[in-house]
Amino acid sequence: MSTVQPPRERLRQWRLRIPGAVFFAALAVLILAAAPASGQQTYVTRFDAFGGYTYLNSPHIGLPESGFHFQAAVRPKTWVSLGFDYSISAGDLSLTPGLLLPSLQQTLGAQMIGLIKAGLLPATYTLAVPAHSRTQTFAAGPQLSYRRFKSVTLFLRPDLGAMHEVATPHAPSGDFFAQGVVTTLAPTGQKTDWVAFWGIGGGADFNFSPHVGLRVQMDVVHDHMFSDLLTDGRNTVRVSIGPAFNFGHNIVK
């Protein structure tokens, strides 16, 4: 077995770019549609909260996850918010040798070759271990807002936080070699990890009134989950949509 080759890596990079391009194209169309209702916002509340659907995708390891996203913030000024961000999502992936550390690839490769020569595995055998993942993200920090459009608020933020993932591998029935791999890599039946992530996020609030709107947003971050097992870090994309609620007194001066 060998490590991931450059053509495959380029394909994964394209898979990462496509969701971002589609998201920003759709966001641009929505903003242009709302542009006629332009004008300086004259009512901005002190607090806001968001809750909605989120789609978390890590293309490098083939892990799409769906879940819930929550945010809450306070606005010291009309152009900046300080808040907390949390999401939880779950999905499934297939763990293959090309994703593993080179040392693990070599060990598993040698074992597979020996079993194939002994007639215990078919010559065409390929290792793939399905796994279920549950991912939580935690972040806090500033968000910058642009309020020159009355019906649309644009925002941009740095993404700095922590990610917690619980992976539950389950070998296919009858695959004794995959069952042995699962027992070795996750003796308790689960594998958990905490890592830091960094990146950038942004989006738009489409304001139905000073107190209610529709938030559409996207974050792209880098992390290296399970570094004792996986050979590469990964870029993770999160797209979220849902209602945003604004409350508190007007802070426009």
Residues 52-95 pLDDT 10s = 999 999 999 999 999 999 999 999 999 999 999 999 999 999 99
Region of 183 on the Ramachandran plot (φ > 0 left; ψ -120 to 50 alpha; else beta): alpha
165-175 pLDDT per residue, tens = 999 999 999 99
Name the pLDDT band for 26 (thresholds 50, 70, 90).
low
Query: Which domains occur in the chain, in start order?
Result: 6-250 (2.40.160.20)
Predicted pLDDT at 253: 80
Task: Tell me 151's DSSP state.
Answer: S
Q: State both tokens at 57.
A: 């995708």
The alpha carbon of 11 is separated from its chain's Cα centroid by a whole number of angstroms, namely 18
> What average pLDDT does this structure show over 122-143?
96
80-95 and 45-58 as β-strands: parallel, antiparallel, unpaired? unpaired
pTM of the prediction? 0.84
Q: What phi and psi, each to the nearest 5 degrees, are found at residue 9?
A: -65, -40
